[in-house]
Amino acid sequence: MKYPILLPNIFNYPFTYESSLKLKVGDYVNVPFGKKSITGIVWDKFEENVNKEFKIKSIKEKLEIEPLKHQTIDFLNWFSEYNLVPLGMTLKLHLLRGKAIEKQKITEYQKYQIESKKEQFNLSQEQEKAFKELVKKDNLFRVHLLQGTTGSGKTIVYFKAIEKIIHRLEQSLILLPEIGLTGEFEKKFKNFFGFEAAVWHSKITPKRKKIIWSGLANGEIKVVIGARSALFLPFKKLGLIIVDEEHDQSFKQDEGVTYNARDMAILRANNENIPVNLVTAVPSIETYSNIKNKKYSHSRLINRYKDANLPKHQIIDLNQNKLAKKTFISFKTLGKVKEHLDQGDQVLFFINRRGFAPYVLCKKCLNVFSCPNCSINLVYHKNKKKLLCHYCGYSSSLQRKCKKDNICDFVFSGPGVEKIAEEVKILFPNQKILIFSSDTMNKASGKNNLDKIISGEVNILVGTQLISKGFHFPNLNCIIVLDIDLTSRGHDLRSAEKNLQLYHQLSGRAGRTGKPASVYFQTYDLKSEIINQMTNEDPYIFLEKELELRRINNLPPFVRFISLILTSSDEIKLEKESLNLKKFLLSQINEKVLGPVEAPVYKIKKKYRQRILVSAKKTSKIQKNLGEILKKYSLPSEIKLTVDVDPISFN
């Protein structure tokens, strides 16, 4: 008998195999493919050219694994069509490699088994109201937003919703944007539930992946805390999906298969006919628009837990307050920091740039050090004594032979966290100082550093936006924002929305235990009303204005953008082919086609990049139409096309 077998590769269709075995849709099998044996799945449709003459190979064996549910197959089909991703590449997101998915012993799941709760958590009246709204119709698909002030106890509310799902013997998935730093979250989960959740991300061991995969497929594991890829796991009976920090850009995967995990979580919940709860302090503009259109229901937590006050905001005008000598910190700021340190407060200096200096110049030969592979400056990391490219990972020594005279004499321009930390150490020599960035916190020492911050061993933090992502620092009551002028510039259509989310989240790190707290913004030219709008207790006021601007200018979420990125090492061929593709698109679709233009970061990893932007009505079937059109267009082999549906970044 013939069977369609989908394989994890770049093809957009299943391959036809034969077998005397009795197989059904969703069964896992091993098949020959080229010179290898590969794991595939019996799919729900045959390839289109099934009637042509070709030799049909035989299926080697059926694997003893729980078959893939038809709802998950539907989800993968929809995922492929929505994101214009080959079906085989979509399957690759689901499958572990090769024969890796054998059944596990029951003892492997013991740490994930439900025990009696160790602590009782009582909800406030406001939290109880939000919980009841959260679990209303919790056996059907619907999207519900839980919006709450930072520190208002949103997590406990949705933990209660998960508890209800567990009692129904169903499974839950919690998606988090930064999975590498979830130690604190895992502790909170275990304190509430009395057992451990399975944690899923790219850095867990292959053995642990097998255990979690098998435990979900047979229903032994009830809760997964996961990164984006957890969406593709084989849940036996999924009952609820939580997307925490739903606004966070980290949910968008920009490399390899491009997709937005928040949107795909909604798609999977729809396929499973289960609820999905989005959780945030500041919703994305798309989510806010869907609330206004009544597509999503929502509830709000206005008050902080135990009625702690939000921090006060103060602007330090750098036109009137001089910077301390050879620093980026004003004398007035130093005075405020000293006051807080004297009161026993922890202090954070916030600057959203890694490294020591983003711009390195030789003052003798005037050479600016840029990446040989990318059209971007190298960033100097003093701790590593290296110049690094944050796009391709290229690194270089600082020792350079000068084009004019012997060795280069460097000028380091623009501050990064390392530079600010160096200044702070000079200004506050008796304080314990720690850098909080992806360079320092994603290492093995990250958990130890977190414990030191929480316990109060660290007095001063110097951090990037990583610090804004949901951490609870009980002693942090003073935040100094050093680069608000820089983060408010640029041509990104989402910059206002991103800044609103960033500074709300950042402010939310301070004053969480009830002690008075302050956030100070150093600025040369930003108007006070802009900062006041971005930090207003009610983010809906800002989002309402932003949504109206988007409507007037016919921008997302009122239209759909699809970005086509063409890359090649041949700059001239790329430019010519980009123009040809635009002409072809204009001849095939009645939509706006903008570009081609050079991408803002024009070269990455020695490949030049051109962008074409298609703008279409939300009601049009643009993905389906564009998918059919691109099938007809033949690109030269040396040019790669990447499709980004609903782009967030335009780099």
d(CA 609, CA 578): 10
What b/e readout covers 65-85, taking b as 16+ CB neighbours within 10 angstroms?
bbbbbebbbbbbbbbbbbbbb
Length of the chain: 651
Produce one character per residue of 344-353: b if its CB has 16 or more CB atoms within 10 Å, e if not.
ebbbbbbbbb
> Is the N-terminal amide bond of 516 cis, ω within 30° of 0?
no
Cis? peptide before 8, omega within 30° of 0: no
Percent of the chain clearing pLDDT 70 (strictly above): 94
HSE of 321 in the Cβ direction (CA atoms, 13 Å)?
19
Identify which of 279, 252, 274 has the alpha carbon closest to the alpha carbon of residue 263.
252
The three-class DSSP label of residue 132 is helix
* Closest-CA residue to 382 (of 344, 356, 358, 407): 356
Mean pLDDT score of the chain, rounded to an integer? Answer: 88
* Stated pTM of the model: 0.90
pLDDT band at 359 (very low <50, low <70, confident <90, very high): confident
Residues 6+ apart with CB under 8 A from 274: 139, 140, 141, 238, 239, 240, 241
CATH of domain 559-645: 3.30.70.600
pLDDT tens track for 161-198: 999 999 999 999 999 988 766 777 888 898 899 888 99
Confidence category of residue 604, pLDDT binned at 50, 70, 90: very high
DSSP 368: B
Assigned CATH for 106-305: 3.40.50.300
pLDDT of residue 100: 47
Q: Indicate if 308-353+415-550 has the same CATH topology as 106-305.
A: yes
DSSP per-residue codes, 94-113: HPPSTT------GGGGGGGS
Instruction: Kindly indicate the confidence band of residue 446, based on its pLDDT and cuts at 50, 70 and 90.
Output: confident
Q: How far apart are CA 464 and CA 620, in angstroms?
A: 40
Residue ranges covered by each domain of the chain: 2-69+79-94, 106-305, 308-353+415-550, 559-645
Read off the pLDDT of each residue in 404-415 and give the average, rounded to a whole number.
78
The CATH code that applies to domain 2-69+79-94 is 3.40.1440.60
- Contacts (Cβ under 8 Å, ≥6 apart) of 194: 114, 115, 116, 117, 118
The pLDDT assigned to 105 comes to: 63
Q: Name every residue whose Cβ is closer than 8 Å to that of residue 419 and which is 6 or more positions away in sequence.
A: 328, 356, 357, 382, 412
- Superfamily (CATH H level) for 308-353+415-550: P-loop containing nucleotide triphosphate hydrolases (3.40.50.300)
- Tens-place pLDDT, residues 496-545: 888 888 888 888 888 877 788 999 998 887 677 777 777 777 889 989 99
Neighbours of 195 (CB within 10 A): 19
500 vs 76, residue with greater confidence: 76
